[in-house]
């Protein structure tokens, strides 16, 4: 219950936070978040690759939270794999940069993809993976490419 309350409070703060746009070194930000979240002693079972990621204009604390949410989900849903593989990267499509976090963990039915970032939406049984169903909803982004 405590985790649910914490997640709801974080979700509430995210919606009311004032956005301060600046240039963000996205590669450095991804590296920082991976270092914050990587479990100690799991080097042989966990392979994290951070590709060349161009900078972006945005709100740094908000982008930090998005990376925390997506990378922590990738760690959670790939932890049963040996090795667990996570890739943080970017693809450039015309004038648009698409930043992504992909993993080789538990996938989801493509027909359920519309629910993936909905608050309180869970695509896996609670006994398989812990969580409250809020973190991905907090990102409000497109997940590209689909996690498999």
Secondary structure in 3-state letters for 14-60 = HHHCCCCEEEECHHHHHHHHHHHHCCCCCCCCEEEEECCCCCEEEEH
For position 77, what pLDDT does the model report? 85
Let me know if domain 2-13+22-37+44-139 sits in CATH 3.30.565.10: yes
Report the alpha-carbon distance of residue 83 to residue 110 in Å, rounded.
24
For position 97, what pLDDT does the model report? 92
For position 110, what pLDDT does the model report? 64
Q: Which of 19-33, 55-69, 104-118 has the lowest mean pLDDT?
A: 104-118
pLDDT confidence tier of residue 31, bands split at 50, 70 and 90 = very high
Two tokens, residue 109: 């039915």
pLDDT confidence tier of residue 145, bands split at 50, 70 and 90 = very low
Report the alpha-carbon distance of residue 50 to residue 67 in Å, rounded.
12
Report the alpha-carbon distance of residue 33 to residue 82 in Å, rounded.
22
For position 113, what pLDDT does the model report? 53
Average pLDDT, the chain: 76
For position 73, what pLDDT does the model report? 87
Report the alpha-carbon distance of residue 122 to residue 105 in Å, rounded.
15
Spatial contact of 68 and 101, defined as CB atoms under 8 Å apart:
no
For position 111, what pLDDT does the model report? 62
pLDDT confidence tier of residue 138, bands split at 50, 70 and 90 = very low
For position 38, what pLDDT does the model report? 84
For position 11, what pLDDT does the model report? 58
Phi, psi (5° rounding) for residue 68?
Answer: -60, -50
Question: Tens of pLDDT along 88-123?
Answer: 999 998 989 999 999 998 766 566 556 555 555 545
């Amino acid at each position: 219950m405590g985790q649910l309350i914490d997640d709801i409070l974080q979700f509430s703060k995210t919606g009311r936070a004032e956005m301060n746009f600046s240039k963000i070194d996205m590669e450095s930000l991804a590296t920082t978040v991976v270092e914050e979240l990587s479990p100690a002693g799991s080097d042989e079972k966990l392979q994290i690759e951070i590709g060349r990621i161009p900078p972006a204009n945005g709100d740094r604390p908000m982008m930090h939270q998005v990376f925390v949410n997506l990378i922590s989900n990738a760690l959670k849903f790939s932890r049963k794999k040996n090795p667990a593989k996570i890739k943080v990267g970017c693809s450039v499509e015309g004038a648009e940069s698409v930043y992504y976090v992909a993993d080789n963990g538990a996938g989801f039915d493509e027909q359920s993809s519309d629910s993936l970032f909905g608050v309180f939406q869970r695509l896996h049984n609670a006994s398989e993976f812990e969580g409250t169903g809020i973190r991905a909803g907090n990102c409000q982004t497109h997940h590209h490419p689909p996690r498999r």
